[in-house]
Amino acid sequence: MTNSTRSKGGVSLEVRATITDKPEDFPAVAAYAFSKGGALLDRQTLNKDGHAKLSIPSIDEPQAVRVVLGPDIDDQEVNAGEVLRRGGVERHVAIRPKAELPGPLEFDVRPDIWRCWIGRLCVVKGTLLKRIVSGGVTLQLPICGATVDIYEVDPWPLIIARLPDLELDRLRDIIDGPWPPIRWPFPPPPPDPFQLGDLVVDPLGPRGLNPQPLPPKLRPGAIRGFDPQPDPPAVMRRVSSLPADLALAARAARPVFERAVVANLDVLRPILCWLFPLRVTRTRIATVTTDECGHFFAIAWRSCISADQPDLYFVARQRFWPGFWVTIYAPTPVACHTWWNYACGTEVTLVTSHVLARACPPCPPVVAPNNWVLFMAIGNTSVWRIHGANTTTRVGAAGHDPAKFGLLDDEAPWAATLRPRLEFDNSLRDTLGVKYYRVSYKRPAESDLEWRPSTEAVNRHYTHEVAGDLILEQYPLGPFTVGGTPHLYEIPPALPPTGQWSIPNAVLDTQSAVIPTTAVAPGVGFDDGGTPLGPDQGGLWQIKVELFTAAGAMVDPEALGITWRVPESADLSGTIQTEDASVLGLVDAVKNCMTLTVRVDNNPCFASIGAPTLDGSAAADECGVMNYSSTASTVAMPFLALQRNRFATFDFYVQRGAVSPPEVDVPGVAAASAATMPAAPTESVANLLDACTTAGFAEHLRVWHMGTDGWSRQNQYDRFDVRAFVLAPTTP
């Protein structure tokens, strides 16, 4: 007797499972019916007796139905491969229109089967970042709202077992050395690429018959393959350190060699991923979306096919227009970018440089008391690197030297346009009613009436969807006049009006104010002789931050419990530990503000090479030729490398001919004036000429300004000069 029945709507198949020795907290089990083409026909959870009935739609043609018993998967798009990957067991049933229906499908599920259905979950955590280079500074910004597909990659034992003998022999070649040359005739050479209209067609593609280079041990005559390639990458140099037992196994039968390869995977993996990039298969096990900080989290089911740790590969996508997705992270070869033996629960960091990837504002966790205001940086340079006023109240730069006050820890000054970066605790807007801030600047000697407010526009950008299109919009932060108080900027809200924050420009979308130091402290150059053309406009400048309510009234931060903070590290990439700015002498409780002092210097450098002299005499002709009568004579090569406050370095070198190394190389720190410039370097004619009798020389002087805007060194203040001379023997 059969419990499988026919009805007008289709066929009902009964499934009976006997699960032995199952624990009390055994998870739900389901029966799945799939068509031969892989379509899910029905899914039913087994009842307490282990029974279920699957409904198969009725058709006029015979059907081949795959019934799979396995853990209950809460996924509308579940497929047979995924159920089998999780340890499912299957039966194949043939259903014909007028034939007798099969009896109940019996499944005997023993502990060796159902153990795979328990405890196979794996927590996968990670962060997706975009690497951006701005002004020579590398940033890693989070990518939010991206879709991350997580794949499980076949373990190497399965990959090795599926390799054809010819492919495995290539690995033998690398491990054991050259094989005898092949004796059969070579196949005819591949056809050359040909042109079809404007299209160039290569019948074999860009890599030819053999996609990989041959190992370095092969002699030119001992070719094992079809198309020799150039030398392989540097990873092949590791071959010399392979274990001796592995080399012995390379001469043995295939099963022995396979086992040896699997036993030495840690050593061979860099070579394997290069040799067999197309042999890796992958199965998608989860799809997640990154949050505002680029983080993603998934609970994935580990494969029952492999008993070891899962091997994971990641692909990231972002949508730009309706139905149009761009893959922003999918490194290849897959085997070289797989997280082999991934430890469940550990953090994965994925970094892309894709030009279309949309980054979001950095959101490192800030460690500070509640209600904080953090003066994070100027540009991308932490304020912790700035020298303070004295030994007890400094910002962060180690040591104390009054001459370094306001300079960075590498003694560089600030220059050009400064863009302070402030961060605010959300509680200021949410619970304290503080909505605005103002940034001003002045010289320390100036009165409080001479504070100059930041007046340039500051904006943030955000992306959102409009009728299916992704739109980039601007959120203005100011300056505004609020309640009669001018030049106020809005504290950025935690979230934009809709969508998510975005950073199309890392410099402009992280600034909180703009201080154009070239307008208030312009640089003063030199005349042709190296004399300054005016008084020094550089020096110390104070940057002040104040807070205001939503009505534009100034706030007393201390009364509201607001704390001023600065980062406690030069590194702004991870968790930001903070220091109390009041302890460092940066807070004025009477004036309700925080003040930071920096040293500004926009004075350009000066570079000039004077006329060289031979025993004190300059060249006798306009061609720059100096005639020597004795190789013991001395050549002096004067030059001026100046920066009025010595915030510059220089390199002066003299090169003979076109290819010889410098005969003279003098690096140093620029002088403040021509009077303090060291004596000109000298060299004997013999040393300059070396084996030459007559030679031409080029003098090069490069003077580099040290000033920075926090993003990059301000090279517009650099100066260069070049000069040439010739040494020739005196004509009799």
Q: Are residues 580 and 557 in the same domain?
A: yes
Choose among 199, 568, 527, 255: nearest CA to 383. 568
Q: Which is nearest to 606 in space by CA: 685, 490, 550, 523?
A: 523
Answer yes or no: is 188 within a domain.
Answer: no
Residue 360 located in a structural domain: no
Instruction: Report the CATH number that the domain containing residue 345 is assigned in CATH.
Output: 2.60.40.1120
Contact 82, 90 (CB under 8 A): no
Is it the case that residue 386 has pLDDT exceeding 80?
yes
Cβ–Cβ under 8 Å, residues 650 and 641: yes
Residue 573 CA to residue 566 CA, distance in Å, equals: 15
Write down the pLDDT at residue 39.
Answer: 85
In a domain, 359, yes or no: no
**560 and 414 part of one domain:** yes
Range of the domain at 47: 5-117
Looking at residue 207, its pLDDT comes to: 32
Q: Residue 102 maps to which CATH number?
A: 2.60.40
27 within 8 A of 20, measured Cβ to Cβ: no
Residue 333, preceding peptide bond in cis (omega within 30° of 0): yes
Element (H, E) at 31: strand 29-34
Region of 80 (left: φ > 0; alpha: ψ -120 to 50; beta: rest) is alpha
The runs of H, that is alpha helices, within 446-597 are 517-520, 557-560
Residue 167 predicted with pLDDT over 80:
no
**Plot region of 607 (φ>0 → left; ψ -120 to 50 → alpha; else → beta):** beta
HSE on the CB side for 347, CA within 13 Å? 5
Nearest by Cα to 330 from 346, 301, 353? 353
Residue 150 has pLDDT above 90, yes or no: yes
Q: Are residues 398 and 530 in the same domain?
A: yes
On the question of pLDDT at 208 being above 50, the answer is no
CB atoms within 10 A of CB 463: 21
Place of tokens 């990659």: 153
For 622-661, write each residue's pLDDT tens digit. 788 999 999 999 999 999 999 999 999 999 999 998 777 7
Question: What's the pLDDT score for residue 166?
Answer: 76
Residue 600's pLDDT band, with cuts at 50, 70 and 90, is: very high
Task: Confirm whether 215 is domain-assigned.
Answer: yes
Answering whether pTM is above 0.85, one says: no
Model confidence at 359, in pLDDT bands (50, 70, 90)?
A: confident
Q: Give the distance from CA 570 to its chain's centroid.
A: 19
Is residue 713's pLDDT more than 70?
A: yes
**Cα–Cα distance between 647 and 645 in angstroms, integer?**
6
Is the pLDDT at 391 greater than 60, yes or no? no
**Tokens matching residue 195:** 């042109």
Please tell me the distance from the alpha carbon of residue 181 to that of residue 63, in angstroms, as a whole number. 53
- Residue where a domain stops, chosen among 581, 600, 619: 600
pLDDT, residue 413, reads 96
- Measured CA to CA, the distance from residue 544 to residue 546 in angstroms comes to 7
Q: Per-residue pLDDT for 668 more than 80?
A: yes
Instruction: Identify whether residues 591 and 616 lie together within a single domain.
Output: no
Clarify whether residues 536 and 490 are in a common domain: yes
Calpha distance 209→218 (Å, rounded): 18
Q: How confident is the model at residue 268 (pLDDT cuts 50, 70, 90)?
A: confident
Cβ-proximal residues to 183 (8 Å cutoff; 6+ apart), any chain? none
- 213: Cβ–Cβ under 8 A, 6 or more apart, which residues? 228, 229, 230, 231, 232
The per-residue pLDDT for range 314-337, each reduced to its tens digit, is 999 988 766 678 899 998 888 888
**578 shares its domain with 444:** yes
pLDDT at 555: 95
The pLDDT score that the predictor gives to residue 193 is 40
Both 639 and 695 in one domain: the answer is: yes
149's tokens: 């597909």
Name which of 97-111, 182-196, 267-281, 483-497 the model is least confident about: 182-196
Closest to 378 measured CA to CA, from 386, 367, 370 = 386
Residue ending a domain, among 352, 384, 400, is: 352
pLDDT digits (tens, 9 = 90+) for 22-69: 887 788 888 998 888 788 888 888 888 889 988 888 777 788 888 888
Measure the CA–CA gap between 570 and 381, rounded to whole angstroms.
Answer: 7
Averaged pLDDT, 200-204: 37
Residues 543 and 566 in one domain: yes
Largest pairwise CA distance in the chain: 127
pLDDT, tens digit, 9 for 90 and up, residues 474-509 = 999 999 999 999 999 999 998 889 888 888 888 999
| Of the candidates 97, 1, 27, 99, the residue with the CA atom closest to the CA atom of residue 58 | 97
What value does the mean pLDDT take over residues 531-559? 94
Distance between CA atoms of residues 672 and 703, nearest Å: 13
Tell me which DSSP letter residue 713 carries. Answer: B
Residue 21 backbone zone (phi > 0: left; psi -120 to 50: alpha; other: beta): left
**Which runs of E-coded beta strand occur in 227-385?**
282-289, 295-301, 312-321, 324-329, 347-352, 366-367, 372-378, 381-382
> What pLDDT does residue 428 have?
94
pLDDT at 93 over 90: no
Cα separation, 500 vs 497, in Å, equals 8
For 444, the token pair is 């320390």
**Nearest-angstrom CA–CA distance, 174 and 212:** 12
Residue 32: how many other CB atoms lie within 10 Å: 26
Residue 423, beta-bridge partner list: 374
Q: Is residue 361 part of a domain?
A: no
Q: Is 520 a residue whose pLDDT tops 90? A: yes
H/E run at residue 127:
strand 121-134
Residue-averaged pLDDT of the chain = 82
The burial of 82, by beta-carbon neighbours within 10 Å (0-12 exposed, 13-18 middle, 19 or more buried), is given as: buried
Same domain, 444 and 577: yes
Q: Are both 373 and 390 inside the same structural domain?
A: yes
Residue 300 lies in a domain: yes
Q: Per-residue confidence at 5, pLDDT binned at 50, 70, 90?
A: low
Regarding whether 540 and 400 lie in a shared domain, the answer is yes
Residues with Cβ within 8 Å of residue 705, at least 6 apart in sequence: 415, 604, 605, 643, 647, 648, 713, 714, 715, 717, 718
Report the number of distinct structural domains present in the chain.
5
* Cis status, amide bond into 413, omega within 30 of 0: no
Q: Are 698 and 592 in contact (CB under 8 A)?
A: no
**Is 457 in contact with 476 (CB distance < 8 Å)?**
yes
566 falls within a domain: yes
C-beta separation of 605 from 718 below 8 A: yes
Rounded average pLDDT over 232-247: 57
What is the SS3 assignment for 346?
coil
N-to-C CA span, the chain: 127
Last residue of a domain, one of 275, 293, 313: 275
- The helix (H) or strand (E) run that includes residue 648 is strand 648-656
pLDDT band of residue 307 (cuts 50, 70, 90) is low
More confident site: 21 or 269: 21
- How many CB atoms are closer than 10 A to CB 103? 13
- Residue 285 tokens read as 């096990």
DSSP 571: -
Least confident of 139-143, 532-536, 609-613, 710-714: 139-143
User: What is residue 479's predicted lDDT score, i.e. its pLDDT?
Assistant: 97
Q: Report yes or no on 656 lying in a domain.
A: yes
Give the phi and the psi of residue 173 in degrees, each rounded to 5: -55, -40
Residue 732 tokens, joined = 């009799």
Kindly state the DSSP code that residue 708 receives in the 8-state scheme: B
Instruction: Specify whether the CB–CB gap between 718 and 685 falls below 8 A.
Output: no
The CA-based angle 498-499-505, given to 5 degrees, is 115
Whole-number pLDDT of residue 219: 32
What DSSP element (H or E) covers 233?
Answer: none
pLDDT reading at 688 higher than 50:
yes
With 50 as the cut, is the pLDDT of residue 210 above it?
no
pLDDT classification of 308: cutoffs 50, 70, 90: low
Same domain, 308 and 328: yes
Higher pLDDT residue, 458 or 219? 458
Helix (H) or strand (E) holding 137: strand 137-142
